[in-house]
Amino acid sequence: MLPPNVVTELSPLEAATDVSQTAVPTISSNFQFVNLDGSTITDVSPFVELREDDASGTLVSTIASINAAKNSISLKPSDLLKANTQYWYGIKDNVIKYKENNTNITATSAMFTTKSTAINFVMYNDFDGTSLTTVSETMGDPAGAFTTVADPAGGENMVAKWDKGNSWGGWERIHLQLNAPFDATKDDIFSFRVYSPIKTGIRFKLANAKEDSEITANYETDEEIILENQWQTVYLNTSELADGVSFDHIFIFLGRGASGGTTFYIDDIKGPQLQGTASVNVFEKNKLRFYPNPANNTIHFSNLEMDTFVKIYDINAKQVLKQKTNNKKLSIRTLKSGFYFVEVNGAYQKLIKQ
């Protein structure tokens, strides 16, 4: 008996317009994709491409993956797609074939155009001193350690480190309370960066309260960590939400429902603009400010209400100085030239010592 006719579907469709900047091009079939020698595909990335403009345009960095059934290929862009831009994606000709009919795959591609207006993100917490949150913590019984450390990949920035525990059946979580509810009439896209030792699931939850018993409205969506031991930017589309919702609590479940004992890193949590302007004003008031930067011997704090203890860390998150300010000034004469992080009451700011 002959196999059925091959049906291959591409999303976004050919000539699609008004496509989201978070789109993940996907090629699916009723047949399996295999190597030309008939063996199972383990790494599909050499066989597919995403390009700006057309098939000869600029190559776009993607994370390509194939599902367990070997009949669906996804090209997740490493960053947001550009607004008002045409893209081409597809399978290269004659590099893989359909298993069931032993036919090489050719002419399997599509072009689409993204929305004309770019997504506007606001930084909620970058763990370097920029924060529009009143609470940044983990939840569990007990809650796993949640600390600010240097980038594990060697970047010159601070990130949050979470040592996930083993309580709540794997549903421990990171919790942030925003200074104000986000404005649901704006772009409904959230994002954050995650660094994980394992491939695992993510659940992202928005709510109007912290405790489950007090939540009367919420929204949940799932994503996947598909990279191990490297940073991945996760984008979450919440466009199904009504414009009138009022959510100021964010919950991030890493390794959703899985046992603990895993250390995750998270950074650059972003989302839509917050309602009103009060939240921005609070941030500007509380933001750690000092000058000069770069500095040689002394830094001056411009928005401390009184003298307080200041901690300074090197890029390996090792504390190298703890000292109380004197007339809102701090001597850094003993520090070697280099890159540091200054902390006052949980707020961080970068410092370059000359």
Shared-domain flag, residues 157 and 272: yes
Number of domains the chain is built from? 3
Shared-domain flag, residues 268 and 132: yes
1 pLDDT more than 70:
no
Last residue of a domain, one of 259, 282, 305: 282
pLDDT category at 186 given cuts 50, 70, 90 is confident
CB-based contacts of 158: which residues, under 8 Å, 6+ apart? 127, 128, 148, 149, 150, 151, 317, 341, 348
By DSSP bridging, strand 231-237 and strand 263-271 are unpaired
281 pLDDT more than 50:
no
Q: At 105, is the secondary structure helix, strand, or coil?
A: coil
Peptide bond into 142 cis (omega under 30): yes
Shared-domain flag, residues 131 and 199: yes
pTM, full prediction = 0.78
Shared-domain flag, residues 89 and 134: no
The CATH code of the domain that includes 90 is 2.60.40.3780
How confident is the prediction for the chain on average, in pLDDT? 91
In a 13 Å sphere around the CA of 275, the CA atoms on its Cβ side amount to 13
pLDDT digits (tens, 9 = 90+) for 227-247: 999 999 999 999 899 988 999
pLDDT digits (tens, 9 = 90+) for 117-130: 999 999 999 988 78
pLDDT at 354 (0 to 100): 87
Within a domain: 3:
no
Shared-domain flag, residues 76 and 138: no
Structural domain range at position 106: 8-114
CA–CA dist 39, 75 (Å, integer): 21
Within a domain: 1:
no
In a 13 Å sphere around the CA of 170, the CA atoms on its Cβ side amount to 10
Shared-domain flag, residues 23 and 76: yes
pLDDT category at 202 given cuts 50, 70, 90 is very high
pLDDT digits (tens, 9 = 90+) for 323-349: 999 999 999 999 998 888 888 877 778
pLDDT digits (tens, 9 = 90+) for 138-167: 999 999 999 888 899 988 788 999 999 999
Shared-domain flag, residues 184 and 264: yes
CA–CA dist 11, 79 (Å, integer): 18
